[in-house]
A and B are shown apart, each in its own frame.
Chain A
Amino acid sequence: MAGLEDLYREIILDHYRTPRNRGELESPPAVESQGHNPLCGDEITLYLLVDGEGDDAVVSDVKIGGQGCSISQSSASMMTQAVIGNTVGEARAMIRRFRSMMGIEGIEAQPGDDEIDLGDLEALQGVVKFPVRIKCAVLGWSTLADALDRA
């Protein structure tokens, strides 16, 4: 049986207590995206600033606002650290990689996805053992995907 220690890893609690990249960006130029978890009512707002065009554009800044549980907050916090400074194409690949780590089916892996290192985010692997919480973990990522589509 999965224990709480699988879920509440220290790195997760650290990001929950001290979330990184919280705040707002001026929009425009930043893209603002809302994410909801209809199950629990959590709402987050994500601000995305991209420099350039297409997949080669660079994610220059991401900020997160709103409220959520430890899983959604820490996942979003770690996500911002992971994607800032990478290209839009790399950010999309990370989204795919993270979603498949969460056991979400129907993600079409692309060449190179396997090599992506999610770093601290691997700590969220334990969430898979708590299916109800998967929605929490992917909330920030779905919101980022939406923002990337609109950037």
Chain B
Amino acid sequence: MDVPSRDQELLVGLYGNGHEPVPEHRPISAVFPVVPAGVLGAEAVHRRRDLAAKRAHQEVEVVAHQGIRMNLDQATFDEVTCQVLEHVAIGVAAEDVLAISSPVHEVVESTGGVVTSWSSHTPIMTKGCHSRNRRDDLELSHQARQGVTVRVCATVVTLGDFSYGDRGNWTGRYNPHMAFDLDTVRKEFPILSREIGGKPLVYLDSGNTSQKPHRVIDAMTDFLENTYAPINRSSYRLAGEATEAYEGARRAVARLINAPSPDEVIFTKNATESTNLIARSWGIANLREGDPVVLTHMEHHANIVPWQMLREELGIEIRWVPLTADGQLDLTHLDQLLDGAKVFSFTAMSNVLGTLPPVAQLCAAAHDAGALAVVDACQYVPHNVTDVQAWGADLVAFSSHKMCGPSGIGMLWGRMELLDAMPPFLGGGNMIDTVTLDGYTTAPVPAKFEAGTPPITEAVGLRAAVEFLEDLGMDNIRQHEIDLTRYALDTLNDRFGDDITIYGPTDTAVRGGVLSFAFRDLHPHDVSQILDERNVCVRAGHHCAKPLMQVLGVQSTTRASFYLYNGTDDVDALADALDSATDIFGL
């Protein structure tokens, strides 16, 4: 299965799954609030409660070119290509039309018979895209044939104006061409308007977990209120909708990381479960006593302990890639370390140092040595354009909660032939093909690795998060964080000089928005306590990377980590708060 494009995805499984009444027809001007391209603010974020007022009706003409399959009672088409021929009402060019609502509000004319009803789960395609309308029911009276032209009145979505969340959950759409606007982004995050003790929140702990935008929260609420049902189990329509919503998340994730197929995306509990899945499934099946597994000194415990468990159980050997003085991987002896190695498992971005190692180069080196290339991309995917194919990776672990999605769902991507050959990880429901008293056979990937009821609602939230990131543009997010990291490095070094030691690379080209530092002689717990007095939220501790702490020669650090909603004002607040530590401790 190919990964559908974002435009296609926008049109699949969108609003109007039948339970929402078709709104009455109203004049266009009254119902289609035109928002200037590139503007997205409070006005443009339409929460569910405002839906009725925001419905828009446009008259469009669509042509069904092919593939109408029908019987006399109900024509069900499973693949229809439609094209907007003319956009009559508001002078929007056809190529700017992104979607047309479904169900349509009114059928104006049909050349191939009378359309008695058009209840569709998916909107009609525009922009020349091809839609795979799997669950649409087009009821025609009779004689409908290929080439039929149907004029309908429907809601029209245009670039720069609106997009639609699942089922009428309208949210503002960022114009993909707009500049990254921090104020606009921040308005999407309700928690950022919270004040504690009358002071605003300065959230600098996104390396730990990120905050959630409205549309993620709304998508989950809406799903729970209207669509929640088991997936892959029951045959009633509601369960079908829930399954489709869950699978929509898989497609979205596949698109985000440029996976060749959504089926290669496996949902787990978190990235830690993903790395454990790799070790328990691939590792136990393929590793023997003495087999070398290569890790690096800057790994998170999630990419250390599962391999140490295998060392205890199987007697594998663990080798470590050391670091340079500025916190990059020291690749001088990489070939020797990889000699005979079965696995090279490394982080794509250090959660402590922010270091961005050359992932593609490391994957190639692993393959040259005949080793499996495993990437812990937990910190990378939320902040960078990710292309698992360009990396040439074999297995990639990452998580939802660090990229604006909910906690409770993580991801593992792997090459299909690899996943196919791997034994199951957890056993139970959903992962089987059949079970008898004598044994079981496994379901195909990805179900093979998704035993039991998965995080369904979380998947729906994750999909909304992926779409949010796509709308902002991962390249925009990365650039924003480069700028912010540069500002933070300069500001903190300028203001505190020798009193602050910031670990990791100074070149922002190889560094993400993570700043671990030592401040004067203060213990990180005390630093974070003092910062908390000013609502500056940072992490103090070992950051689940104790071996790295040993390498750095410290017990713990204070870490400020940035995300798309942080700005230079947050950095200034951090610096001001650090200043106040001096007073309290009389330093």
Contact = CB atoms under 8 A, between A and B. Distances in A.
A86 interface: no
Interface string A65-79: 001111111000000
A40 B540 contact: yes
Contact of B556 (A13, A41, A73): A41
Contact of B549 (A41, A73, A130, A133): A41
Interface string B530-546: 10010000001110001
Given A13-B585, A41-B546, A43-B555, A69 B541 contact: no
A150 to B, nearest CB: 25
Interface residues of A, number: 21
Interface in A36-77: 39-43, 67-73
Interface in B532-573: 533, 540-542, 546, 549, 555-556
A146 to B, nearest CB: 20
A42 B556 contact: yes
B529 A42 contact: no
B554 to A, nearest CB: 9
Contacts of B556: 40-42
| Residue from B526, B540, B546, B549 whose CB has the most chain A CB atoms within 10 Å | B526
| Interface of B, helix, strand, loop or mixed by DSSP | helix
B586 A42 contact: no
| Interface of A, helix, strand, loop or mixed by DSSP | mixed
Nearest to B545: A41
A60 to B, nearest CB: 30
B523 interface: yes
Contact of A40 (B197, B524, B533): B524
A3 B546 CA distance: 31
Given A4-B533, A67-B555, A41 B541 contact: yes
A41 B542 contact: yes
Given A8-B584, A68-B523, A42 B555 contact: yes
Contacts of A8: 584-585
A71 B523 CA distance: 10
B525 A40 contact: yes
Interface in B346-397: none
A30 B556 CA distance: 29
B585 A41 contact: no
B525 A133 contact: yes
B584 A69 contact: no
B298 to A, nearest CB: 16
Contacts of B584: 4, 8
Given A41-B549, A41-B555, A43-B555, A4 B541 contact: no
B106 to A, nearest CB: 58
A39 B541 contact: yes
Contacts of B585: 8, 13, 70
A143 B48 CA distance: 55
A9 to B, nearest CB: 11
Nearest to A73: B523
A133 B529 contact: yes
B252 to A, nearest CB: 35
A31 interface: no
A68 to B, nearest CB: 7
A70 B197 contact: no
Contact of B523 (A7, A13, A69, A130): A69
A78 to B, nearest CB: 17
B530 A4 contact: yes
B183 to A, nearest CB: 29
Contacts of B555: 40-43, 67
Interface in A79-114: none
| Residue from B525, B542, B546, B549 whose CB has the most chain A CB atoms within 10 Å | B525
A7 B525 contact: no
Contact of B529 (A7, A72, A73): A7
Contacts of B586: 13
24 contacts: A1-B197, A3-B533, A4-B529, A4-B530, A4-B584, A13-B585, A13-B586, A40-B524, A41-B541, A41-B542, A41-B546, A41-B549, A41-B556, A42-B525, A42-B555, A67-B523, A67-B555, A69-B524, A69-B525, A69-B526, A70-B525, A72-B525, A133-B529, A136-B525
Given A42-B555, A42-B556, A69-B525, 20 more contacts: A3-B533, A4-B529, A4-B530, A4-B533, A7-B529, A39-B541, A40-B525, A40-B555, A41-B541, A41-B542, A41-B546, A41-B549, A41-B555, A41-B556, A42-B525, A67-B555, A68-B523, A71-B526, A72-B525, A133-B529
